[in-house]
């Protein structure tokens, strides 16, 4: 399922037009991204938890040349599935 499929599913399920459903989906994504950018966790009970994990700087290798390179520290988004989502999949 891609974003267009998700918008169509939300539109049919909620009885919205596709443009209204697209705005709703975009707002949900923007809200989650904004919270994660502010280092806040997003918990959706029964679905899962979005969080930010800090990744330390490390040394790596360029696969083409074998040269050692420095990999900068960064923040990575993480998602942990909730019990309801796990049960729905299994």
pLDDT at 65: 93
Tokens of 42: 């997003």
Residue-wise pLDDT tens digits, 7-23: 999 999 999 999 999 99
Give the whole-angstrom CA distance, residue 38 versus residue 51: 11
Do the beta carbons of residue 20 and residue 11 sit within 8 Å?
A: yes
Residue-wise pLDDT tens digits, 29-73: 999 999 999 999 999 999 999 999 999 999 999 999 999 999 999
pLDDT at 25: 95
pLDDT at 31: 96
Fold observed for domain 41-90: HU Protein; Chain A (4.10.520)
> In the chain, where are the structural domains located?
1-38, 41-90
Give the whole-angstrom CA distance, residue 46 versus residue 18: 26
């Amino acid at each position: 399922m891609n974003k267009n499929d998700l918008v169509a599913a939300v539109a049919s399920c909620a009885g919205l037009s596709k443009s209204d459903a697209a705005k709703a989906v975009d707002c949900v994504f923007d809200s989650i991204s904004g919270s994660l950018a502010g280092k806040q966790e997003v918990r959706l009970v029964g679905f899962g938890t979005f969080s930010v994990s800090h990744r330390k700087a490390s040394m790596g290798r360029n696969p083409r040349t074998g040269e050692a390179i420095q990999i900068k520290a960064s923040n990575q988004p993480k998602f942990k599935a909730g019990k309801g989502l796990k049960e729905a999949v299994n």
